Amino acid sequence: MEPRFNLFGTETGSKIAKRFAGLGQAVHQTSLPAITAELVSLRASQLNGCGFCLDMHVKEAIAAGEDPLRLHLVAGWRETTVFTEAEQAALAFTEEGTVLTREGVSDETWDNVRKHFDDEQVAALVCLLGLINAANRMAVITRQKGGSYQVGALAQHA
């Protein structure tokens, strides 16, 4: 499949992309660990089938020094020993916050996130999850492909 539409080639799409980039930078300027943010973005993108965002977040994580082995194991994180308890809490939160039910995120998952992250980090996680799910949906709807993302490209638009 070819991309359907160059959303960011439009005036409206370009304005929104700049705001998204700025919001993403705001999340990355918090005390939420950068790798946790990349793991959250990667897992949500896996669940949503967003090749463009998978490409971006794998490359950004590797550029930030992440071990590629851990990135390969994100989809099966429950069956591994390579993620910290805090990362596991964030990944569970990501799954429940991406594949929503009426309950949203369970009390158990919420309590576990609160155990590992302070108020500012929880705010960053909630906002990040909303942003990555919105970005995934825009990219999937317009059939954006992964493979050509260059590290730092999104930050240039912020």
Length of the chain: 158
Q: How does pLDDT run across 70-94, given as a tens digit for each residue? A: 999 999 999 999 999 999 999 999 9
**Would you place residue 9 in the very low, low, confident or very high pLDDT band (cuts 50, 70, 90)?**
confident
Chain centroid, CA 34 distance in Å? 11
**Number of neighbours of residue 90 by Cβ within 10 angstroms:** 29
Range in 8-17, 45-54, 106-115 with the lowest mean pLDDT: 8-17
Q: For the chain, give the DSSP string.
A: ---S--GGGSHHHHHHHHHHHHHHHHHHTSSS-HHHHHHHHHHHHHHHT-HHHHHHHHHHHHHTT--HHHHHTGGGGGG-S-S-HHHHHHHHHHHHHHS--TT-S-HHHHHHHHHHS-HHHHHHHHHHHHHHHHHHHHHHHTTPPSS---TTHHHHT-
Work out whether the CA dihedral 46, 52, 56, 62 comes out positive or negative: positive
pTM: 0.91
For residues 102-110, give the mean pLDDT. 95
Q: What is the pLDDT of residue 154?
A: 67
Q: How does pLDDT run across 49-70, given as a tens digit for each residue? A: 999 999 999 999 999 999 999 9
Range in 59-63, 110-114, 144-148 with the lowest mean pLDDT: 144-148
